[in-house]
Chain A
Amino acid sequence: MASAGQMQHPVGSDQFRPLYHLLSALSRSSTLKEVIDTGLSTLLEAMPADGAAIYLEENRRLQLYAARSAPCRWVNWASQEGPFAAGETLAGPMVRLCDGRSAGDLEGLARAVFLPLELDHGVFGQCVLFFRHAQKVANEESGIGLVMAVCAHLALAIEHQRAEAERQRVEHRLQAILENSTAVIFMKDRGGRYLMANRRFEQLFGVGPEQVVGLTDHDIFPQELADTLRQNDLMVLEQGKSLAIEETVPDDDGGKTYLSVKFPLRDPDGTISAVCGIATDITERKQLELAQRRLAAIVADSADAVISKDLNGIVTSWNAAAERLFGYTAEEMVGNPIGVLSPPDRPDEMPGILRKIQTGERLSAFRTQRRRKDGTLADISLSVSPLRDASGRIIGASKIARDISRERAVEREREELLKREQEARKTAELLNSIAPVLAKELDEEKLVQAATDIATQLIGAEFGAFFRNTKGKDGEALLLYTLSGVDKKLFEGFPMPRSTKLFGPIFRGEPPIRSDDITKDIRHAKNPPYNGTPPGHLPVRSYLAVPVVTRQGESLGGLLFAHSETGRFTEAHETIISGIAAQTANAMDNARLFEQAKQAQEDLRRSNEELRRANRDLELFAYSASHDLREPMRTIALSAQLIERDATAPLSPRSASFLANILNASTRMNTLVDDLLSYLKASKPEEGTLPSVNAEVVLAGVLETLGAAMRESGATVTHGALPDAVAIHESRLSQVFQNLIANGIKYRGSAAPVIHVTCEEESPGWYTFSVTDNGVGIEPQYAERIFELFKRLHSREQYPGSGIGLPISRRVIEQYGGRLWLQYSVPGAGSTFCFTVPRQAG
């Protein structure tokens, strides 16, 4: 530091003029450079120096800021040789003498006056005046004081200028932050009027920073929201501390949620004058949170077990469904290895899955099993995905396990059902193929042999047998009926099986017996005398016995099958054999029925033949008897006539009467014989092929024959359409027509007879003729009697005739397979007779 003794302080009346200049110039200066320029000018004005420079602190050193009229060497020298250190306090001016050792190097610099720029915080700069002549400095003793004053002002001005620049820089920064912030930033006074708001505010709410000042929330937002916002502001104002509040503000996108940090702004005196708010849009975060919460809820409520684990297989999460599925609680599992779920029969599965996950693979709907806490196995469908951290690194796995125990059970049941259905179908097909073979065989032994052979083959038995139920003198016995697969000789020498505990039930028609190993069957060994298979008997292990029972429940016997190996006969085999047994029973039944039917038919045929023969004999007898009768009867009649004629004397009245009786009786008898013969004749079928006759023509012929009778009685006979091809002999049809029409005329009432003949084809191939008259009719109780031979309803005197017409007509029609009957009759009003005749075929 230079000594104060070297300093000179010139004082003059107008020597303060530069100070005024300085002050007025400084007041116009708005930048540091202008201040410095002004300072340099004022310094050179205050002292007649050859040059001046101003240095300001920078990085703890005083660096040249600006110089005027001073060569570089001076300036650099001053910078290095300056007496002040930055921050030094209470420094005074100092004159440095430069002539001497280094004047030559300093381009003629003689003196340099160093003046500190110092404020409360110490030296922060220096002003240097350069002189070429030493005495100038001396002459300007008073000038020192002036430049010191200048420096003092200058220091203030620089400091001020610097502070202002700093302030502006800070403000710019703040402004930039405000303008570019994605947060909404605003400031309101105590009355709620906006003092400022940033661009984001404008972007969101449409009110720019320029317009917002002076407005309140109520000018910008809906009433309710504005009230809430104001309330929040007031809370900050009252409590005097910052608040973080979530506020929801509606906008075009449907509303946003903000996290508003509101804090009081205090005046320097500590009073709160405003509230400032920084509101950050947390809508996305809120949504994310919500989504996460939902996701968490979904996971928690999921019906599927949702589990996460790290790469070491340690469980990191475990939901309620997992607890339900596996029986372990989250407390038991989280933090522990998941390996406890590994089923004993597949220990490598879980590590394998984990290895796959580590390579980024996923596992989807993998069907497997896991062990529950209680040791049972759960059928699950497993999906596993890798879990990654933010950088994408795989850090674990999330697995979803669906309980498919029920589905699997249903599936297994379905598979089982399907299998059974297929077996049943196969069985049915087999049985169907067997049925015709058995059904067409009507010889019982062949039938049973076929059934035994087929059955033995079908189930792969080594031998099969059918034992017939027979009734011997010792009661029930079994007879080996057929044998399949082995020579019958092998069984010779063995007694027929008895009704043992094994055989008995079968032959009583009880359910089948099937054994995988009959030697282990308790029923087998309990039969004396052998207590098991008789020695020398074919070896039997697999055993199947099925009863053969008819539908009527009669036990016919049993089908037995055997194999020397164990476990050869399945349930399906049993089903098949049961089917075959049923069909065999059925077929045996049929065969027996067939035999019976054949026998019955034969019996019937024989009895028919006997009947026919008897009939024929009877007819022959009747025929010949009639003939034989005729002769003597006629002789009686003739003799009586001859006696009457040849009598030489008149007969007594009594004799004459007796003779007349003889004549009458013989004549009637003759008629009876004639009728009987007619009837027998009607019973004899005509021979040869059936002719085709025209019914209308036949009727016309009959009417001609009956012409006299019709005229005499005044009868009218009409008819409807009659067929032209009736399969009956003309004479026979004529006979029937004649009889029925003659009856209509003969048995007439008081009115003239009216007779109508019709015909219809009532059933295919058959004509039904109807002959309706208006005669006396027939009382119902006589409806059948009129068809009996020689039965008369009326006296001979009332209606002559022998009463044979209707029986004959009926016999005639019956010869052609038709029927003749009284359709209806009303006594006193008339009758209708019907008869059927076949239509001529073709």
Chain B
Amino acid sequence: MENPAPQLGRTRLKVLMVEDNATDAFVLQEVITEMGLDAEVEIVMNGDEALRYIDRAGDCPALILLDLNLPKVSGFEVLKRLRASDKCGRTPVIVVSSSAAKSDKDASKELGANAYFQKPITLSEFLNLRPVIEKVLADPKTDFND
């Protein structure tokens, strides 16, 4: 496994959040923060920025939370390019989308996402994202069976 492992304790855990909805971004960040992870969450508002961020970054993020419905470059496009690139091609990605469509879930899996989380309508339900993140971080391979 050549993926750069999350460097717990040494450096802060880097999380890239690709989210154009400020409310969602706020709530998601809260979930990560409340998990007690020493994480540094970088938020980009569209796919284009997300790709540029990855290009620029010295280290690949430990986790990417990726919305699908994004301006300019869609979440799927980002995922596709990410998986196709040499850099950060294996970074764990959790697709976080409001879509309940099975097709979106299937496409995400197809394009190499490690998990899919449908954004709920209540705050309390957002807490369900915690075990998903923990699982992906612990073993990014075995996590798509929800």
Contact = CB atoms under 8 A, between A and B. Distances in A.
Instruction: Tell me, yes or no, whether A binds B.
Output: yes
A670 interface: yes
Interface in B47-79: 69
Contact of B23 (A627, A630, A642, A645): A642
Interface stretch (A547-555, A631-639, A813-821): A631-639
B119 interface: yes
A667 interface: yes
Contacts of A677: 100-101
A764 to B, nearest CB: 36
Interface string A668-706: 001000100100000000000000000000000000000
Contacts of B99: 627, 630
B98 A631 contact: yes
A645 B27 CA distance: 12
A641 interface: yes
A667 B120 CA distance: 10
Query: Which of B24, B69, B100 has the most chain A CB atoms inside 10 A of its CB?
Result: B100
B24 A635 contact: yes
B123 interface: yes
B1 interface: no
A515 interface: no
Given A639-B23, A642-B23, A634 B101 contact: no
Given A631-B21, A631-B69, A638 B98 contact: no
Interface string A605-630: 00000000000000000010001001
B8 interface: no
B145 interface: no
Contacts of B24: 635, 638
A634 B98 contact: yes
Nearest to B67: A631
B122 A637 contact: yes
A414 B27 CA distance: 110
A319 interface: no
A630 B120 CA distance: 10
A823 to B, nearest CB: 33
Contact of A641 (B69, B100, B123): B123
Query: Which of A638, A666, A674, A677 has the most chain B CB atoms inside 10 A of its CB?
Result: A638
- Main SS of chain A's interface residues? helix
Nearest to B102: A681
Interface residues of A, number: 18
A635 B21 contact: yes
A677 B120 CA distance: 16
B89 to A, nearest CB: 29
Given A631-B21, A642-B27, A637 B121 contact: yes
Interface in B73-128: 98-101, 119-123
Contacts of B120: 634
Contact size range, B: 10 to 19
Nearest to B20: A631
B122 A630 contact: no
- Main SS of chain B's interface residues? loop
B101 A645 contact: no
A630 B98 contact: yes
Nearest to A630: B98
B75 to A, nearest CB: 13
A638 to B, nearest CB: 5
A642 B123 CA distance: 8
Contacts of B100: 630, 674, 677
B97 to A, nearest CB: 9
Interface string B14-35: 0000000101101100000000
A361 to B, nearest CB: 115
A666 B121 contact: yes
Nearest to B26: A642
Contacts of B69: 627, 631
A839 to B, nearest CB: 29
A631 B100 CA distance: 11
Contacts of B23: 635, 638-639, 642
Contacts of A641: 122-123
A634 B122 CA distance: 8
A623 B23 CA distance: 24
B27 A670 contact: no
A32 to B, nearest CB: 174
A638 B120 CA distance: 9
Contacts of A623: 101
Given A627-B101, A674-B100, A677-B101, A634 B119 contact: yes
Nearest to A671: B121
A645 B120 CA distance: 17
A641 B125 CA distance: 12
B69 to A, nearest CB: 6
Nearest to A645: B123
A665 to B, nearest CB: 12
Interface of B: 21, 23-24, 26-27, 69, 98-101, 119-123
24 contacts: A623-B101, A627-B98, A630-B98, A630-B99, A634-B98, A634-B119, A634-B121, A635-B21, A637-B121, A637-B122, A638-B23, A638-B24, A638-B27, A638-B121, A638-B122, A641-B123, A642-B23, A642-B27, A642-B123, A645-B123, A666-B121, A667-B121, A670-B121, A674-B100
Interface of A: 623, 627, 630-631, 633-635, 637-639, 641-642, 645, 666-667, 670, 674, 677
Given A631-B69, A670-B121, A677-B101, 20 more contacts: A623-B101, A627-B98, A630-B100, A631-B21, A631-B98, A634-B98, A635-B23, A635-B24, A637-B122, A638-B23, A638-B121, A638-B122, A638-B123, A639-B23, A641-B122, A641-B123, A642-B27, A642-B123, A667-B121, A674-B100
Q: 8 tightest CB-CB pairs across the interface, nearest first?
A: A641-B123, A637-B121, A630-B98, A631-B98, A670-B121, A635-B23, A634-B121, A638-B23
